[in-house]
A and B are shown apart, each in its own frame.
Chain A
Amino acid sequence: NAGVTQTPKFQVLKTGQSMTLQCAQDMNHNSMYWYRQDPGMGLRLIYYSASEGTTDKGEVPNGYNVSRLNKREFSLRLESAAPSQTSVYFCASRVRDGFSYEQYFGPGTRLTVT
């Protein structure tokens, strides 16, 4: 049981390049999330998918697109990377268990855009 996995761990892009961050979970969770983490700003939600086949914008969706490929996988795409997208990106999945909305996070992808 690997939990939430993310690839790649590190990536350097040039301005204008595109890339896709991959995320997969093996916990059979319905909901999946993409966050970015910047110093002094906590984690900010980019997009989420409440269930397979649905996606919704979070706080900071501009410059990103997502695909919920199936129940396990949720990818984040940067079509034309900008230096402002330099960040650490975390994928998470969530279970609703009684009173809990516990989120499980992946190890993160550290992205640098030059």
Chain B
Amino acid sequence: QQQVKQSPQSLIVQKGGISIINCAYENTAFDYFPWYQQFPGKGPALLIAIRPDVSEKKEGRFTISFNKSAKQFSLHIMDSQPGDSATYFCAASSDNDMRFGAGTRLTVKP
């Protein structure tokens, strides 16, 4: 059973648009929620992360929104750029356990 469900599987956005990727988790023991960005042929790299005691975290064009009661969180990419084209993974972690979503392939068209 997948503990972290991610949608959509793929997303196409025009340059300058907003990209939104959603995740939901099951285990209430998770207390750290990162997003990873992966380019083809590379390993995932941490993009932004949040703890459940805040509802939103913003870093530049990237924002995580977190809804603890619904056990959902999302990544918003504002002013999306072609260089943002990559696969994005959400994850949920506790002390020695990190579970990943299935990934979203984002394509930003110029």
Contacts and interface: CB of A to CB of B under 8 A. Distances in A.
Nearest to B42: A107
B98 A103 contact: yes
Interface string B5-34: 010010000000000000000000000101
A99 B51 contact: yes
B103 A103 contact: no
A100 B102 contact: no
Most interface-central of A33, A101, A102, A105 (chain B CB within 10 A): A101
Contacts, number: 54
Interface in B73-110: 89, 93, 95-103
Contacts of A34: none
Interface residues of A, number: 24
A42 B98 CA distance: 12
Contact of A45 (B34, B98, B102, B103): B98
- Greatest chain A CB density within 10 A among B34, B42, B95, B98 is at B98
A40 B9 contact: yes
Contact of B93 (A50, A90, A101): A101
A90 B98 contact: no
Nearest to B6: A42
Contacts of B96: 31, 48, 50, 56
Interface in B31-88: 32, 34, 36, 41-46, 49, 51
A102 B45 CA distance: 9
Interface of B: 4, 6, 9, 32, 34, 36, 41-46, 49, 51, 89, 93, 95-103
3 A-B pairs closest in CB distance: A105-B43, A42-B100, A43-B100
16 contacts: A40-B103, A42-B4, A42-B102, A42-B103, A43-B100, A45-B97, A50-B96, A56-B96, A99-B32, A101-B32, A101-B95, A101-B98, A103-B34, A103-B46, A103-B98, A105-B44
